[in-house]
C-alpha cells in the first residue's frame, strides 16, 4: 500500500494564526459535533456509556488488522488529540480508520481538525490526511484548504458554546440513533 | 449480554489463567475444608492446586461474560481474585446465613461524572425536588403492587376492597409534604398488600404479615431472600451509570451504604420478587422441604434457594418489547433503564416517571 | 450471536488456545467451546486466536449462529459441558 499526498491548488497558506488555547478540544468532539449535539454535550460532561468503549475496542482491532503490514505511529499530542501517522513517500500522513463511511462528513472534519491542529498549534505544515474504510476498500483524502481552515475556527467556537450550555440539548431523532451508544439514554 | 453467576455451594473462588475458577468439594455432606468457617471455627487450608485433587470439582467462569457474582453459599475468596474481579469491574455480592444481603465487593467506579454527581446531590438537598422523587418511587411501587392485585382479581380472587384502598392512597400521594410521611404511607400500602397474600397464595404456607431479622416463616424467608437478590441486581444496574449509589431520596442515605438501590428496587419488588414467590408457591415448585425451621426463624435451604434463584434469574432474562425504544429488553435491563430515566431527570432532559408494568 | 469453536492446533499451543477461550466461552469438551458473544467480543476472540495460533499449521473452526435457539444440541454418552450460571 502506498499512501500518496497529492498537491492541491486550493491549498491553505503556510501562515498560521494565533489561537486561544481555551478553544481546543479533543478530536472526538469534532466528530460528535457533526454526529449529534446531545452526544457532544453528554460526552463532554463525562456522561458516557459502556457500549461506547465496546465500539472503541472494535475500532482498535479493526485498526490493528488493517495495518498489519504497515508501521503506524500513534501519538498523543498535548494530552488532547490522539493521532495515527504513517510515513509515506509523499511525506507525513495522518490516517483515521473507520468502520463505515456512513458518517463520512464527521470523519473528514475530525481529520481536518487534526491537520488544522498540527498546522496552527504545533506549526507542522504539509501534512496530508486520509480517512480509510478498510471493510469498504475505500479511502478519502482530506486537505486543509484556506476555506476549511477558517470554517474550523468557527466550528470550534460552536463546539465550545454547546459544551458550556447549562443543560444538554434535547435529543433529536435521526435514523442512525439506533446504532448509537446513547440510544437507550436518549429515547427511554 | 453478560450474565450473573449465583454460587449456592460452599467453596472458593480462585484466579487462574486469567479467568475465575470456583472450586468445591464433590461430596456436599463432607465438611468443606477450604470454607472460611467450619462449625464456627476458621480453618486454614492450602488452596494450591486444589482443583486438581479428585475429591474436588471446579467450575470455570468465563471472565468476559460475568456481569456480577452472587455468593449465596459460603464463598471464600483469595486476594488474587479480589483484585482481578475489581479490575474487570465485576461486583461480588455476599449473602448471610438467613439469605439476607450482607455486603458487596465493589469495584472502582469507572463512569464518573462531576456534572451528574452535583446534580444528583442537589436534588437531595432541594426539599421539594427530593419530595417529588420520593413520591415517584412510592407511586411506582404502589402501582406495580396494584398490577399484581389486578392480575389475581382477574383470576377470580376477591381483592376489590384492597385495590380500591390502594388506589385511594396513590391518588392522595400529593398531600404528603414530608419524606417520612411518604415512607409511612409506603409501609401502609405494603401492609395492605401483604394482607392479600393469604388470598393469592395456596394454603400450603401461612403468612401473617411481614417479619424480618430473621424471617419467621417460609413466605417471609422468600421475601427477604428475593429482596436481597433484587438489591444486588439493582446495585449492578446503578454501577453501569454515573449515578451515586449512596445518594437516595425516599430512603435516607444513612440507611445503608448503597441506599439508592433501596429506592429503585422498591419499584421492582412486586414485579420481580413477589411474582417469583406467587409462582413458586402456587405451582407447587417450592414445598415445606425447601425450608429449615429454627427456634427463632425460618430460612430457605440449599434446594429452596436454588429453586428461587432459578426462577428469579429466568425472570431477569425474560424479554419484553419496549414501547419507547422499539426493541426487546430484558427485565433486568428495565432496572438499568430506570437508572437512565433518573439521570435524565437530573439533567432536566425528561421528567422521571417510574416503571409500571405496562403489559 | 451463538458460537461453537473447535480447534485442532499443534500440541504446544493447545493449552494457550484453551486458556484464552476459557475467558469468553464455556468449555464443552476437549477442544470445543460454546457460548454467546457480542460483536465486539467476537472480534476480540477472532483476533486473539490469530495471535496465538500458527496460521500455517493450526486450524480453528467457528460455527456462527444467530442465537442459541438456532441450534439444537444432543449429547450421547457423558455430558461434560459446564453450562449454566447457578453453581
CA B221/CA B300 separation, integer angstroms: 6
Cβ separation of C87 and B60 shorter than 8 Å?
no
- The residue in chain C having the minimum alpha-carbon distance to the alpha carbon of residue B5 is C85
**CB proximity list for A5: less than 8 A, separation 6 or greater:** A88, A90, A91, A93, A128, A141
Note the pLDDT of residue A121: 84
pLDDT band at B79, cuts 50/70/90? confident
Instruction: Give the model's pLDDT for residue A59.
Output: 77
**Closest Cα in chain B to C17:** B17
Report the residue from C23, C38, C86 with minimal CB separation from B63: C23
The residues with which A94 forms a beta bridge, in sequence order, are A85, A129
DSSP state of A101: G
Q: Verify whether the Cβ–Cβ distance B343 to A168 is below 8 Å.
A: no
Q: Which residues, 6 or more positions from B274, have their beta carbon under 8 angstroms from its beta carbon?
A: B148, B223, B226
> Could you report how far apart the first and last alpha carbons of chain B are, in Å?
24
C→B interface, C-beta within 8 Å = 19, 22-27, 35-36, 38, 41, 44, 82, 85-87
The reply to whether residue C19 touches residue B59, judged by beta carbons under 8 angstroms, is no
Q: Which residues pair with A138 in a beta bridge?
A: A133
Q: Report the neighbours of B using a cutoff of 3 or more CB pairs below 8 angstroms.
A: A, C
Q: Is there a contact between A50 and B113 if contact means CB atoms under 8 Å apart?
A: no
Q: Copy the grid coordinates of residue B105.
A: 465487593
For helices B179-200 and B127-154, angle between their N-to-C axes, nearest 10 degrees: 10
DSSP state of C86: B
Q: Is pLDDT at C67 greater than 90 in this prediction? A: no
Chain A partners of B322 at a C-beta cutoff of 8 Å? 188
Mean pLDDT of chain B, nearest integer: 90
Q: Which residues of A touch C40 (CB under 8 A)?
A: 54-55, 57-58, 61
Average pLDDT of span B5-22: 90
Three-point CA angle C81, C83, C87, nearest 5° = 115
Rounded to two decimals, what is the model's pTM? 0.89
Q: Which residues of A touch B240 (CB under 8 A)?
A: 49-50
Asked if B242 lies within 8 A of A168 by C-beta distance, the reply is: no
User: For the range A140-143, what are the long-range contacts, defined as Cβ-Cβ under 8 Å and sequence gap of 24 or more?
Assistant: A140/A101, A140/A104, A140/A107, A140/A108, A141/A5, A141/A6, A142/A108, A142/A111, A142/A112, A142/A115, A143/A8, A143/A10, A143/A11, A143/A115
Task: Check CB contact under 8 Å for B313 and C86.
Answer: yes
Flag whether residue B347 sits within 8 Å of chain A, measured between CB atoms: yes
Q: What are the pLDDT digits (tens) for B304-318? A: 999 999 999 999 999
Is residue B349 pLDDT above 70, yes or no?
yes
pLDDT digits (tens, 9 = 90+) for A41-84: 999 999 988 777 777 777 778 777 776 666 667 778 888 888 87
Give the model's pLDDT for residue B36: 47
pLDDT top residue among C83 and B63: B63
Residues in C touching A62 (Cβ below 8 Å): 43
The CA–CA distances, whole Å, from A50 to A105, B283, C34 equal 25, 39, 25
CA distance A6 to B211: 79
Most confident of the ranges A103-107, A135-139, B41-45, B208-212: A103-107
Instruction: State whether C40 and A55 contact (CB < 8 Å).
Output: yes
Tell me how close the Cα of B294 comes to any Cα of chain A, in angstroms.
45
What's the confidence (pLDDT) of residue A136?
87
Judged by average pLDDT, the poorest of A169-173, B199-203, B272-276, C31-35 is B199-203
Q: What is the pLDDT of residues B273-301, one digit of tens each?
A: 999 999 999 999 999 999 998 878 889 99
Query: Mind telling me how many Å the CA of A61 is from chain C's nearest CA?
Result: 7
User: For A132-184, how does the pLDDT look when each residue is reduced to its tens digit (9 = 90+)?
Assistant: 888 888 889 898 888 888 899 999 999 999 999 999 999 999 988 988 889 99
Per-residue confidence (pLDDT) for residue A109, from 0 to 100: 94
CA distance A170 to chain B (A): 6
Counting every residue written for chain C, the total comes to 87
Please name the residue of chain B whose CA is at the shortest distance from the CA of residue A164: B115
User: Would you say B13 and B22 are in contact if contact means Cβ atoms under 8 Å apart?
Assistant: yes
Residue A47 with chain B: CB contacts under 8 Å? 113, 115-116, 242, 343, 347
Dihedrals phi, psi of A132, to nearest 5 degrees: -115, 140
On the 0-12 / 13-18 / 19+ scale of CB atoms within 10 A, B309 is buried
Contacts with C40 (C-beta within 8 Å, 6 or more apart), sequence order: A54, A55, A57, A58, A61
Say how far apart CA A34 and CA A103 lie, in whole Å.
9
- Provide, for chain B, the percentages of residues in helix, strand and coil under a 3-state DSSP scheme, each rounded to the nearest 5: 50, 15, 35
B88 confidence band (pLDDT: 50, 70, 90)? very high
Q: Chain C contact for A64, CB < 8 A? A: yes
Q: What does B3-62 look like in DSSP terms, one character per residue?
A: EEEEE-S-EEEEEETTEEEEEEES-TTS--TTSSEETTEE-----TTGGGSTTEEEEEE-
Contacts of C36 in chain B (CB under 8 A): 1, 65
B341 touching A (Cβ < 8 Å)? yes
Amino acid at each position: 500500500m502506498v499512501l500518496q499526498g497529492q498537491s492541491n491548488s486550493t491549498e491553505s497558506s503556510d501562515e498560521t494564526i494565533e489561537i486561544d488555547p481555551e478553544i481546543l478540544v479533543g478530536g472526538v468532539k469534532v466528530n460528535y459535533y457533526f454526529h449529534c449535539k446531545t452526544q457532544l454535550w453528554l460526552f463532554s460532561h463525562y456522561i458516557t456509556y459502556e457500549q461506547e468503549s465496546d465500539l472503541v475496542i472494535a475500532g482498535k482491532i479493526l485498526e490493528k488488522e488493517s495495518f498489519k503490514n504497515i508501521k503506524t505511529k500513534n501519538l498523543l499530542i498535548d494530552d488532547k488529540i490522539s493521532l495515527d501517522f504513517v510515513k509515506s513517500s509523499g511525506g507525513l500522513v495522518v490516517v483515521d480508520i473507520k468502520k463505515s463511511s456512513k458518517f463520512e462528513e464527521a470523519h473528514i472534519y475530525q481529520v481536518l481538525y487534526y491537520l488544522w491542529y498540527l498546522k496552527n498549534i504545533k506549526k507542522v505544515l504539509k501534512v496530508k490526511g486520509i480517512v480509510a474504510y478498510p471493510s469498504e476498500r475505500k479511502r478519502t483524502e482530506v486537505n486543509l484548504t484556506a476555506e476549511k481552515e477558517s470554517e474550523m475556527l468557527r466550528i470550534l467556537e460552536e463546539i465550545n458554546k454547546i459544551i458550556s450550555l447549562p443543560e444538554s440539548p434535547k435529543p433529536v431523532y435521526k435514523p442512525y440513533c439506533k446504532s448509537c451508544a446513547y440510544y437507550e439514554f436518549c429515547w427511554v | 449480554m453478560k450474565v450473573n453467576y449465583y454460587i449456592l455451594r460452599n467453596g472458593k473462588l480462585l484466579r487462574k489463567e486469567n479467568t475465575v475458577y470456583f472450586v468445591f468439594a464433590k461430596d456436599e455432606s463432607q465438611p468443606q475444608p477450604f470454607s472460611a468457617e467450619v462449625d464456627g471455627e476458621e480453618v486454614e487450608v492450602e488452596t494450591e492446586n486444589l482443583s486438581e485433587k479428585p475429591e474436588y470439582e471446579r467450575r470455570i467462569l468465563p471472565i468476559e461474560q460475568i456481569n456480577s457474582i452472587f455468593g449465596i453459599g459460603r464463598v471464600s475468596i483469595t486476594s488474587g481474585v479480589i483484585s482481578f474481579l475489581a479490575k474487570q469491574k465485576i461486583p461480588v455480592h455476599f449473602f448471610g446465613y438467613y439469605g439476607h444481603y450482607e455486603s458487596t465487593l465493589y469495584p472502582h467506579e469507572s463512569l464518573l461524572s462531576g456534572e451528574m454527581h452535583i446534580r444528583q446531590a442537589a436534588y437531595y438537598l432541594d426539599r421539594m425536588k427530593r419530595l417529588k422523587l420520593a413520591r415517584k418511587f412510592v407511586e411506582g411501587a404502589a402501582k406495580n403492587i396494584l398490577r399484581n392485585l389486578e392480575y389475581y382479581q382477574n383470576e377470580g380472587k376477591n381483592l376489590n376492597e384492597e385495590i380500591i384502598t390502594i388506589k385511594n392512597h396513590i391518588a392522595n400521594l400529593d398531600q404528603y409534604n414530608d419524606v417520612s410521611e411518604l415512607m409511612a404511607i409506603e409501609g401502609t400500602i405494603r401492609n395492605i398488600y401483604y394482607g392479600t397474600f393469604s388470598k393469592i397464595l395456596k394454603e400450603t404456607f401461612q403468612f401473617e404479615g411481614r417479619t424480618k431479622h430473621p424471617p419467621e416463616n417460609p413466605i417471609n424467608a422468600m421475601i427477604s431472600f428475593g429482596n436481597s437478590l433484587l438489591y444486588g441486581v439493582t446495585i449492578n444496574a446503578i454501577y453501569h451509570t454515573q449515578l451515586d449509589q449512596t445518594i437516595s431520596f425516599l430512603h435516607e442515605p444513612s440507611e445503608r451504604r448503597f441506599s439508592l438501590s433501596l429506592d429503585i428496587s422498591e419499584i421492582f419488588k412486586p414485579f420481580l420478587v413477589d411474582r417469583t414467590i406467587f409462582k413458586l408457591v402456587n405451582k407447587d415448585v417450592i414445598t415445606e422441604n425447601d425450608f429449615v425451621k429454627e427456634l427463632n426463624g425460618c430460612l430457605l435451604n440449599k434446594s429452596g434457594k436454588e429453586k428461587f434463584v432459578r426462577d428469579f434469574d429466568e425472570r431477569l432474562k425474560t424479554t419484553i418489547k419496549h414501547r419507547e425504544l422499539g426493541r426487546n429488553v430484558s427485565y433486568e435491563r428495565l432496572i438499568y433503564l430506570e437508572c437512565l430515566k433518573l439521570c435524565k431527570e437530573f439533567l432536566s432532559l425528561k421528567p422521571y416517571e417510574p416503571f409500571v408494568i405496562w403489559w | 450471536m451463538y458460537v461453537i469453536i473447535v480447534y485442532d492446533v499443534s500440541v504446544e499451543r493447545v493449552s494457550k488456545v484453551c486458556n484464552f477461550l476459557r475467558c469468553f466461552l464455556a468449555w464443552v469438551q476437549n477442544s470445543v467451546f460454546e457460548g454467546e458473544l457480542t460483536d465486539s467480543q467476537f472480534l476480540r476472540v477472532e483476533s486473539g486466536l490469530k495471535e496465538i495460533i500458527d496460521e500455517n499449521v493450526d486450524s480453528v473452526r467457528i460455527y456462527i449462529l444467530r442465537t442459541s435457539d438456532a441450534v439444537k444440541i444432543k449429547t450421547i454418552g457423558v455430558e461434560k459441558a459446564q453450562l449454566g450460571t447457578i453453581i
